[in-house]
Chains A and B, each alone.
Chain A
Amino acid sequence: MNNRFIIIGAGLAGLSAALTCAKNGDSVILVSDGYSERSQSVMAEGGINGAIDTQNDSPEAHFQDTLFSSCGLVKEEAIHALTQAAPIIIKELARMGVNFNTEQNGKLSLRPFGGQKNRRTAFAGTSSGKQILTAINDEVRKYEIKGLIIRKPHHLFRDILIDKGVCTGAIIFDKYSQKEELLYANGVITASGGLNGLFKDFTGSVANTGYCTALLFARGVKLSNLEMIQYHPTTAENNGKRMLVSEAARGEGGRLFVYKGNEKYYFMEEKYPELKNLMPRDVTAREIYNISKEMNCEVFLDMTELDEAVFEKKLKSLREDCIKYLSVDPKDSPIPVFPGIHYFMGGIAVDTAHRTSLKGLYAAGECCSQYHGANRLGGNSLLGAVYGGKVAASTACEDNLPLIQDGERLKEDLPFEAAEDIKDVLQTAMGVIRNEESLSAALEKIKENDIFSLLAKAVLQSALERRESRGAHFRSDYPERNDDKFKKVSVASFDETVNIRFEGV
């Protein structure tokens, strides 16, 4: 009670954390580049996982699918808690007013999703992220009016304050007035999203610069599993970035094929008769990548056989986006697709309770490395954001650290974004398929020592030193998984130089 927390990021994880603090009677300063409506969370389409069908599914089965997909790189305790909480979270969201699709009997509709044997993805058309964010945002307003949550929109996080090894506050910068502000708090929770800004091409928001993670890394905060970058199997080029064609397309019956002469060859169905087009994303992305290279051809996503009613009720915005941006009506013609960077499984290392390696600093959502290991299941990111935000905030409240109005900041001039050449280097070296030669060559090209260069080095070194293939990380020179040596988390730390160590999960 009566503590004050700084939350960096007002997407789903940040809002969820803010709500948790406010409900506990603590106050929150919610710092964000844009308003919540501008956050990347609104781009999430497919849905949120939870074993709410008690007859045909169970949290245990959700746990097993998540663990299997992660290739062993998650703390079992953490995903056990996540999957147990999932049905409760979804029901809570429905009570908050999320307009989930429902069946005639009023029960929530569930769609099948990649890498999962049971139907457990609750959804709101193909606008699940936006619909969930709106409801949580409405709830947050209750506490804004009470003065418990104070927003600092159009503010950039610039630095943390550290006093005797404890994070005591943050320095923020108003983009509009160009003024800096120094804030002290009983804890800082970062919910700052993925590392889009280190790359050229991705499906997420171009507003996610990755600054927060880069800054924290330079200040000694440990990061983990940075090499684990999810390529979404089905994306398309849109105005100089990637556009997502949601997994919901395949969940509702869409099929992947290539032309062999005039024949359609449904390669996923042939190779994976059980899960077919809904294999985990790492597998599907690699299959698409490989077959397009081997046969030198385009890969298509075929939704032409889906009913009009399915498009209308379940895939409406997806269809509109395809017509608008790809000039293809998916009801009429298959869409050419290719894998694109979609999600960062790795990030700020946290313990089960979402504490980072720096006392007083917590992390939640895509910026942290917690629930997804080497490969994330579709539908687990919205869940991880909402749940992770809750846990991080609860932990911060419980830790009840004293308010210390002191602390040191970095003295150097800090850039706002990564230089263009870093983006080129990472985009090329951190592809779907990687190897020693290209990763080493890429490392040589990173010459500077600014915070983004340090983070870029950490990403490349993590990929270089994981000399095996696991989940989203595929090495053509080490194509096998090596559990003896690498069923471990890669941990990146910075202390004059960038160091990578492999540690037990």
Chain B
Amino acid sequence: MKLKVTVKRQKDPQSPPYEQSFLYQGEGATVAGIIRKINQRENLTDINGEPAEKIGWECGCMLRKCGACAMIINGRPSLACSQYIEADGELFLAPLSKFPVVRDLIVDREHIFKSLYKAALWLDENMGYDEEHHAARFSSSNCIMCGCCLEVCPEFSLGEDNYSGAVLPVNSYRIADREEEPQHLKQISKQYQKAFFSGCGQSLSCNKICPCNLPVEELIVKSNAINVWKRRKNKK
């Protein structure tokens, strides 16, 4: 396979972005596999033979489990480890656009983590076992905080309003479903309405983009039901 890999690069947060291309020849691989191969070259040169710095990116598990390698791949946000490239052509890589760029493909996603603790997502008292909701709570706990759903969200931006995007309803469900302490549940609901419900335009562009195939829409509906419409099944 012969591939022209173009990376939107940036030396540091202050420097202007630029594009640089590399030639990749080898077997079909995930984008993560391709970047690793390029970075392993001893004297890295770009497609014009000019010396180049290693591509800055974050990578952990290579298995869609850690969320580190989220980026824009040919115009679409995804995990580098989840996209296979197996035919000749061009590959265009850019950092997620909604977060501040640190370097090359690395962005600072602090906002995601901050929004979860502002939302008071912890359990004070656990309601205990409930088989019926197990699958949804399991999905809620599997969110890898990569930020792909925020990239495609028309409402989300890092502005003053601190709109959380789908990360909050996805993660809120496992807590809202089980929290038994009424004051805390109230606090969760209040923040939920402020940080998510009042801002969501229901475009649902987040639903299909999740690289882990989480049932985003289902979790939004379920989190809304508890946090906004106060519908929660009574447990045994």
A420 touches B40 (CB 8 A): yes
Tell me, yes or no, whether B129 is within 8 Å of chain A by CB.
Answer: yes
Assuming the contacts A35-B113, A321-B63, asked whether A138 and B138 have C-beta atoms less than 8 A apart, the reply is no
Name which residue of chain A comes closest to B82, CB basis.
A324
B178 touches A42 (CB 8 A): no
Interfacial chain B residues near A151, Cβ < 8 Å: 113
- Give min CB distance, B70 to chain A, whole Å: 11
Assuming the contacts A141-B116, A420-B40, asked whether A206 and B63 have C-beta atoms less than 8 A apart, the reply is no
Tell me, yes or no, whether B76 is within 8 Å of chain A by CB.
Answer: no
The distance in angstroms between the C-alpha atoms of A176 and B30, with both chains bound, is 26
Assuming the contacts A35-B145, A130-B65, A139-B122, asked whether A40 and B60 have C-beta atoms less than 8 A apart, the reply is yes
The distance in angstroms between the C-alpha atoms of A267 and B123, with both chains bound, is 48
- Which stretch in B31-39, B202-210, B217-225 binds the other chain? B31-39
Tell me, yes or no, whether A24 is within 8 Å of chain B by CB.
Answer: no
Q: In chain B, residues 39-79, which have Cβ atoms closer than 8 Å to a Cβ of chain A?
A: 40, 42, 58-68
- Give min CB distance, A299 to chain B, whole Å: 22
Binary per-residue interface labels of chain A (113-137) against chain B in the complex, 1 for a CB within 8 Å, 0 otherwise: 0000000000011010011001100
Interfacial chain B residues near A138, Cβ < 8 Å: 121-123, 174-175
- Which stretch in A236-244, A250-258, A435-443, A480-488 binds the other chain? A236-244
The distance in angstroms between the C-alpha atoms of A155 and B59, with both chains bound, is 15
Name which residue of chain B comes closest to A243, CB basis.
B63
Assuming the contacts A43-B61, A205-B61, asked whether A131 and B33 have C-beta atoms less than 8 A apart, the reply is no
The distance in angstroms between the C-alpha atoms of A134 and B66, with both chains bound, is 12
Size bracket, chain B contacts: 35 or more
Name which residue of chain A comes closest to B113, CB basis.
A35
Binary per-residue interface labels of chain B (132-154) against chain A in the complex, 1 for a CB within 8 Å, 0 otherwise: 00100110011111000000000
A238 touches B68 (CB 8 A): no
A153 touches B126 (CB 8 A): no
Tell me, yes or no, whether A97 is within 8 Å of chain B by CB.
Answer: yes
Tell me, yes or no, whether B168 is within 8 Å of chain A by CB.
Answer: no
Which of A34, A131, A325 interacts with B142 by CB under 8 Å? A131
Assuming the contacts A139-B123, A144-B117, asked whether A239 and B81 have C-beta atoms less than 8 A apart, the reply is yes
A176 touches B122 (CB 8 A): no
- Give min CB distance, A382 to chain B, whole Å: 15
B102 touches A176 (CB 8 A): yes
Assuming the contacts A142-B122, A420-B40, asked whether A42 and B117 have C-beta atoms less than 8 A apart, the reply is no
The distance in angstroms between the C-alpha atoms of A34 and B60, with both chains bound, is 9
Tell me, yes or no, whether B120 is within 8 Å of chain A by CB.
Answer: yes
- Give min CB distance, A248 to chain B, whole Å: 15
Tell me, yes or no, whether A309 is within 8 Å of chain B by CB.
Answer: no
B33 touches A240 (CB 8 A): yes
A238 touches B63 (CB 8 A): yes
B33 touches A239 (CB 8 A): yes
B62 touches A239 (CB 8 A): yes
- Give min CB distance, B43 to chain A, whole Å: 13
Assuming the contacts A96-B126, A131-B138, A239-B36, asked whether A145 and B62 have C-beta atoms less than 8 A apart, the reply is no
Tell me, yes or no, whether B108 is within 8 Å of chain A by CB.
Answer: yes
Assuming the contacts A141-B116, A420-B40, asked whether A42 and B131 have C-beta atoms less than 8 A apart, the reply is no
Tell me, yes or no, whether B110 is within 8 Å of chain A by CB.
Answer: yes
B123 touches A206 (CB 8 A): no
Assuming the contacts A138-B123, A144-B117, A239-B62, asked whether A97 and B178 have C-beta atoms less than 8 A apart, the reply is yes
The distance in angstroms between the C-alpha atoms of A37 and B145, with both chains bound, is 7
Q: In chain A, residues 76-100, which have Cβ atoms closer than 8 Å to a Cβ of chain B?
A: 94-97, 99
Tell me, yes or no, whether B29 is within 8 Å of chain A by CB.
Answer: yes
B62 touches A206 (CB 8 A): yes
The distance in angstroms between the C-alpha atoms of A39 and B129, with both chains bound, is 28
B138 touches A206 (CB 8 A): no
The distance in angstroms between the C-alpha atoms of A324 and B30, with both chains bound, is 10
B59 touches A207 (CB 8 A): yes
A102 touches B129 (CB 8 A): yes
A176 touches B108 (CB 8 A): yes
Interfacial chain B residues near A145, Cβ < 8 Å: 117, 120
B102 touches A134 (CB 8 A): no
A97 touches B174 (CB 8 A): yes
- Give min CB distance, A43 to chain B, whole Å: 5
Interfacial chain A residues near B106, Cβ < 8 Å: 176
The distance in angstroms between the C-alpha atoms of A378 and B178, with both chains bound, is 30
Tell me, yes or no, whether A276 is within 8 Å of chain B by CB.
Answer: no
Which of B68, B116, B121 interacts with A38 by CB under 8 Å? B68
A206 touches B59 (CB 8 A): yes
Tell me, yes or no, whether A106 is within 8 Å of chain B by CB.
Answer: yes
B68 touches A130 (CB 8 A): no
The distance in angstroms between the C-alpha atoms of A99 and B62, with both chains bound, is 24
Assuming the contacts A176-B108, A207-B68, asked whether A97 and B81 have C-beta atoms less than 8 A apart, the reply is no
Interfacial chain A residues near B64, Cβ < 8 Å: 321, 324
Name which residue of chain B comes closest to A131, CB basis.
B141
Assuming the contacts A35-B113, A97-B174, asked whether A240 and B66 have C-beta atoms less than 8 A apart, the reply is no
A34 touches B117 (CB 8 A): no
Interfacial chain B residues near A154, Cβ < 8 Å: 102, 108
B60 touches A205 (CB 8 A): yes
- Give min CB distance, A20 to chain B, whole Å: 16
A205 touches B81 (CB 8 A): no
**Residue with the greatest number of chain A CB neighbours at <10 A, chosen from B65, B113, B116:** B65
Interfacial chain A residues near B67, Cβ < 8 Å: 37-38
The distance in angstroms between the C-alpha atoms of A251 and B175, with both chains bound, is 31
Which of A43, A97, A124 interacts with B65 by CB under 8 Å? A43
Name which residue of chain B comes closest to A127, CB basis.
B142
The distance in angstroms between the C-alpha atoms of A175 and B107, with both chains bound, is 12
The distance in angstroms between the C-alpha atoms of A361 and B8, with both chains bound, is 43
The distance in angstroms between the C-alpha atoms of A97 and B121, with both chains bound, is 12
- Give min CB distance, B135 to chain A, whole Å: 9
- Give min CB distance, A192 to chain B, whole Å: 14
What are 8 A-B contacts defined by CB distance under 8 Å? A42-B65, A43-B63, A96-B123, A97-B178, A131-B142, A134-B143, A153-B110, A240-B36
A residues at B contact (CB < 8 Å) = 34-35, 37-40, 42-43, 94-97, 99, 102, 104, 106, 124-125, 127, 130-131, 134-135, 138-139, 141-142, 144-145, 151, 153-154, 175-176, 205-207, 238-241, 243, 321, 324-325, 420
9 closest pairs, A vs B, by CB? A239-B33, A134-B141, A205-B60, A142-B122, A99-B138, A207-B60, A38-B66, A138-B122, A106-B129
B residues at A contact (CB < 8 Å) = 29-30, 32-33, 36-37, 40, 42, 58-68, 81-82, 102, 106, 108-110, 113, 116-117, 120-123, 126, 129, 131, 134, 137-138, 141-145, 174-175, 178
Q: Please give 19 more A-B residue pairs, beta carbons under 8 A apart, in addition to A102-B131, A240-B33.
A: A34-B60, A34-B66, A35-B113, A37-B145, A38-B58, A96-B123, A96-B126, A97-B141, A127-B138, A131-B138, A135-B141, A141-B120, A144-B117, A145-B120, A176-B102, A176-B108, A239-B81, A240-B29, A325-B63
